[in-house]
Amino acid sequence: MSKTWFITGASAGLGRGLADTLLARGDTVVATVRREGVLDDAQARHGERLRVLRLDVTDTAALRDGVAQAFAAVGRIDVVVSNAAYGLFGAAEELDDARIARQIATNLTGSIQLIRAVLPFLRKQGGGRIVQVSSEGGQIAYPNFSLYHATKWGIEGFVESVAQEVAPFGIDFLIVEPGPTRTNFGAALDHAPAMACYDDTPAGAVRRAVAAGNFADFGVAGKTVDAMIAAIDAERLPLRLALGSSTFDKVGEALRQRLALLQSQREVALSVMA
């Protein structure tokens, strides 16, 4: 049975890949973009099964209006994909206030407000699925991505809480955690002006690795999209979906280290109890 999807950030990267793949199999997609014309080619191929909505997720009022328009236009929406994101790169001291505000407004506040906007509609229609595109950076951290990590760790905590609140209404969540993937994300990173004092620090080493293109092994965008769709189509959703060898290995190691640290603190943890 075909589905209807709402996808933010659908002009490029995983969002565009999802839209193209879903439309090709016969589904209906409401795709949000920030620039006019970027989906004209897809619109010509798929006609009314693709509805394009110009939307900036940092504009909360417009976001709410756009969500209402989408549900009014297509009726039921089965899957909402919160994918729009912005990548800020630089040591914390190098970042200016405007960049920090944009990072939080796009990745964290924008995602929160999208989820809040769709919940009443999903509840009234008897359920649905919300997919939050996060990152391996929602579970681990690298130098120079501090604000990006803050938004990804933050949205994962938000989703874990809201998922418990709305499960009785038949609303399921999936947090997708891709590792580095060959999309335009790296090229679109907003690099803060570098400070020379960080050249010989881990931040400097990561900056050089990113510039050289050897920061990590990259997943294939098409395979990532296929894995996401397969998980979303399944009868039961896992709360998290890790994608890529980097994610599997590094997140696994981080979780083992955290568990070992917690276990080592058992006596002091219990010592504060009455």
Which one of 3, 111, 135, 152 is the catalytic residue? 152
Q: Confirm whether 250 is a catalytic residue.
A: no
Which amino acid is residue 125, in one-letter code? Q
Roughly how many angstroms between the first and final C-alpha of the chain, as a whole number?
Answer: 57
Q: Confirm whether 198 is a catalytic residue.
A: no
Which one of 86, 142, 148, 198 is the catalytic residue? 148
Residue 72 near residue 65 (C-beta atoms within 8 A): no
CA 241 to chain centre: 12
What are the DSSP calls for 205-250, one per residue? HHHHHHHHT-SS--B-HHHHHHHHHHHHHSSS--SEEEESHHHHHH
**Residue 77's closest CA among 57, 51, 58, 108?**
51
Only one residue has tokens 């001291």, namely 93
Provide the 3-class DSSP secondary structure of residue 6.
Answer: strand
Which one of 134, 135, 146, 246 is the catalytic residue? 134
Q: Confirm whether 86 is a catalytic residue.
A: no
- C-alpha to C-alpha distance for 31 and 273, rounded to whole angstroms: 52
- C-alpha to C-alpha distance for 57 and 112, rounded to whole angstroms: 10
**Residue 159's closest CA among 185, 121, 133, 194?**
133
Q: What is the set of active-site residues?
A: 134, 148, 152
